[in-house]
Amino acid sequence: MLTEQEARDAVIVALDCGADEALALADRLAGKARWVKVGMTLFYAEGPRIVEAMRERGLRVFLDLKLHDIPFQVRGAARSASLTGADILSIHGLGTAAMVEQARAGVEEAALERGGDRTRLVAISVLTSMDEDALREIGVGVPLAEEVSRLAKGSVDAGSDGVVCSPQEASRLRELLGGEALIVCPGVRPAGSAVGDQKRIATPKAAISAGASKLVIGRPITQSEDPVAAFEQVIAELVAE
């Protein structure tokens, strides 16, 4: 069981929408939620100013850009993303140890330039929209759990602060990576919520119990009739005995 403050720090509200809607949601959630996710759709449309706008509202930002390119490009991209003020940045675990190392170098450079805490890195393992069949479709023949563990361990060894994985892999990765690793879990759905395009899901409480550090929850909150009430319902679930 989490305290209320721990629960509020654990939930990242995914703002996968346009700028006007995202800012309106941020205004409603400010003072209640502590974290939001800015993904590619929103960031590509609005650029660094959307991160700045969220931080002006007192919200911390998970910038979910899933960087994946040659090491040189990722170093520069990670530095630029970190300079926006992002607190957490995602990269792809498939990018090799050299790419992860350069991403770490990029966020360290940015921390020296802007001062303050370094942006933390989390490596994407296997997207929560994928299952065993999807892995085979792209030529990965090992079991999904094995692939997630391989990518997670390699990324953390190379300098990532943690990983992004489904709640179904959280327990195994917590044991593999240790207590300090940042384990971010999308694919979290409160009881009764629509699954959408997610394949490997769990309830908020189950995900935390499995070892997740942070939960990314989007549509069950943002597309509800009352987003604040939906957010508070998640918090209530996490603090309930």
Total count of residues recorded for the chain: 241
Contact 91, 100 (CB under 8 A): yes
Our answer to whether residue 66 is catalytic in this structure is yes
Q: Tell me which of 32, 37, 66, 199 is the catalytic residue.
A: 66
- On the CB side of 119, CA atoms within 13 Å amount to 35
- On the CB side of 91, CA atoms within 13 Å amount to 41
The H or E element that residue 184 is part of is strand 182-185
Give me the phi and psi of 48, to 5 degrees please.
-55, -25
Contact 128, 198 (CB under 8 A): yes
Give the number of other CB atoms < 10 A from CB of residue 57: 14
From 99, 47, 56, select the one nearest 65 (Cα to Cα): 47
Q: Spell out the alpha helix ranges (H) of the chain.
A: 4-10, 19-29, 40-46, 48-56, 71-83, 96-114, 132-137, 144-158, 167-177, 204-210, 219-222, 227-239
Residues belonging to the active site: 66
